[in-house]
Amino acid sequence: MRIQADLEWCEGHSSCVSALLDLSEDGTVLVLQSEVTPERSDEAADAVPSCPVAALRLIG
């Protein structure tokens, strides 16, 4: 499973910030770990719906 961010949709609300995601210097989401390990699957599943502009998705 991978987590993917759409930088054109991201508005930098930071509700997704976690061990997998952070904010870049320009204020948009920065994917720190695109491949989601089984240990991080719950964290990724929580991060995706936390984005108020639906800029995140899980693939696979």
pLDDT digits over 2-57, tens only?
999 999 999 999 999 988 999 999 999 999 999 999 999 999 999 999 999 999 99
50 phi and psi angles, rounded to 5 deg = -75, -15
Q: How far is CA 46 from the centre of its chain?
A: 9
Does domain 2-59 fall under CATH 3.30.70.20? My reply is yes
Contact 18, 47 (CB under 8 A): yes
Contact 10, 29 (CB under 8 A): yes
**What per-residue confidence (pLDDT) applies to 19?**
86
- Six token digits for residue 20: 């997998």
Residue corresponding to tokens 């800029």: 55
d(CA 23, CA 14): 7
